[in-house]
A and B are shown apart, each in its own frame.
Chain A
Amino acid sequence: MKQEIRICGFGGQGVITAAVILGKAAAVYDGLIACQVQSYGPEARGGAARAEVIIANEPIGYPGIHAADILVAMSQEAFNRYINDIRPGATIIIDPDMVITYEAAPYAHLVPSTRIAEELGNVVVANIVMLGAVTALTGVVSREAMLASTLASVPSKFKALNQQALEAGMTVVAGLSP
């Protein structure tokens, strides 16, 4: 098993944090092998941001991504840039409020993560909503590992909010209203 996951958006959306939490869920809590690399523009916010995670059950050599098995796009620019670097049958998850034009991926899963996070009271957890969706749709890590990793990665006063965000992401892709 080897899964290559690319999470992309703009700086400030927490795409790197999301990738770190995902990698940690796999490597620390699910006992898998994981490797996470990132790239970001010089701007703290607003520049293009991209983070990649490889999750496997055997040692990972080359740490780069050839073509993503899972693509999470949280901005139009990121979607346009990476939609062609995917494997056939890849799972594509987009935020339809941020990615308006997605004809290139008609089968994408639409997860309004920003709107859900706003409804929960804090837009910063949009990335965690996406992680919930990734977990429920792909099973690349277990729900338990994802929850443990998320709670271990956020300040204690935000644990409840992050758990709600994660669960909302898992629920929305099951077709239920969060």
Chain B
Amino acid sequence: MSTHRDRLRQAMGDKVQFVQGDDACAYGAILAGCTFFAGYPITPATEVAERMAEILPKIEGCYIQMEDEIASMGAIVGASWTGVKTMTATSGPGFSLMQENLGYAIMTETPCVIVNVQRSGPSTGQPTLGAYGDMMQARWGTHGDHEIIMLCPASVQEAMELTIVAFNLAEAYRTPVLVFIDGELGHMRERLVIPEDDEFELVERTCATSREGYRPFAAGENLVPAFAPFGAGFRTYVTGLTHNEAGLPRSASAPIHDQLVRRLADKILRNTDQIIRYEEFGAEECEIAIIAYGITARACRDVVEEGRQRGLKVGLLRLITIWPFPDEVVARWAARVQAILVPEMNLGQIVHPIREAVAGRCPVMLQSKIGGELHTPTELSEALEELRCQVC
């Protein structure tokens, strides 16, 4: 008899495939155990929904096409409270609509994953082309004090791997986690190797065990409360209002609000060593560094590799976790290089937390490119050379 995992692999198809970044996000979700997807198709994220719609019915999962992205986000929050792993996928205009319920997921400590295949804005912008214009919206798009976790893959394989990681982080910290790619990576095809189950880790939310004295929002030392799914017989009240440990609204209490919102932030900030991922290349003997993320980092890697072959002291810090921001890693690089180049497919977003972390230790030059085309290796080399002339 075939097990659930067997059927899941059968539904995904061959172990080695030549597929798009969007497909890879869907496969990562399936491997992570996601059984509920609610979404509203939008270019260039539609293929994520297509794959989920194909696979989920074959594994007794549930795919719902919602009336819009507000409802999509609401549906994945609600479904997560039944104890299942949930995901939605969208692009800029849809991500804007999700902001209200994204905050609700943070406040109610609801694990879920949101994939944003970015395209240019503002508004409907350039639907078929890539961009990284939602990086700051991801951080502060929903109102109020909060932390968020966001991962930025640079390849098709990594899109799958980091979607699995996103689910693990969502489950571990009971919080929404964002996977951000762009239209170019979303539609780019590369080899994807689907790993065996013993080749990756899976994390499940900690569930409440005893109904006796259960308080749904009381957290222990790790600051993450034990979860009781709807229907399991626990008394749980879920609200976006400031609530006490019993989950009951206490919206006029300063100490309860202070304690709650600080805990929500601290459960992420105290675990940055578990959450922050990055890749360093040419870190040793580096005079000029590039700090990049997402698809842009691929051309940066070419340029740094080629530059080092010519004897140039250049290096690359590729940020994989963008939020929480890896200040310490950036500060460490800033302390030993003479200048930093930040290429971004926007008019300058992640350059701001970089400058804050660099804190004046060295010049930071932004290289913006918008309109849907990637930074070419030639453009990056020229910017590096310009920066080198200025400081070396």
Contact = CB atoms under 8 A, between A and B. Distances in A.
The yes or no verdict on A and B being binding partners is yes
B17 interface: yes
> Which one of A24, A34, A63 has the greatest number of beta carbons of chain B within 10 Å?
A63
Interface string B282-310: 00000000000001001111100100000
Contacts of A20: 18, 189
Interface residues on A, range: 10 to 19
Give the interface SS of chain B, mostly helix, strand, loop or mixed: mixed
B188 interface: yes
A48 interface: no
B188 A63 contact: yes
Interface in B1-43: 14, 16-18
B374 A62 contact: yes
A62 B189 CA distance: 13
B72 to A, nearest CB: 25
Contacts, number: 56
B18 to A, nearest CB: 4
A36 B374 contact: no
Contacts of B301: 61
B191 A63 contact: no
Interface in A22-59: 23-24, 27-28, 33-39
A64 interface: yes
Interface in A148-175: none
Interface in B150-191: 184, 187-191
A16 to B, nearest CB: 10
Contact of B302 (A27, A38, A39, A62): A62
> Which one of B189, B298, B305, B374 has the greatest number of beta carbons of chain A within 10 Å?
B189
B242 to A, nearest CB: 47
B187 A64 contact: no
B61 interface: no
Contact of B191 (A27, A37, A66): A27
A62 B191 contact: no
A63 B18 contact: no
B67 to A, nearest CB: 25
B316 to A, nearest CB: 10
Given A20-B189, A35-B188, A36-B188, A28 B299 contact: no
Nearest to A35: B190
A20 B128 CA distance: 18
A63 B374 contact: yes
B189 A36 contact: yes
> Which one of B187, B191, B301 has the greatest number of beta carbons of chain A within 10 Å?
B191
Interface of A: 20, 23-24, 27-28, 33-39, 60-64, 66
9 contacts: A24-B18, A28-B14, A35-B188, A36-B188, A36-B190, A37-B189, A61-B377, A62-B298, A62-B302
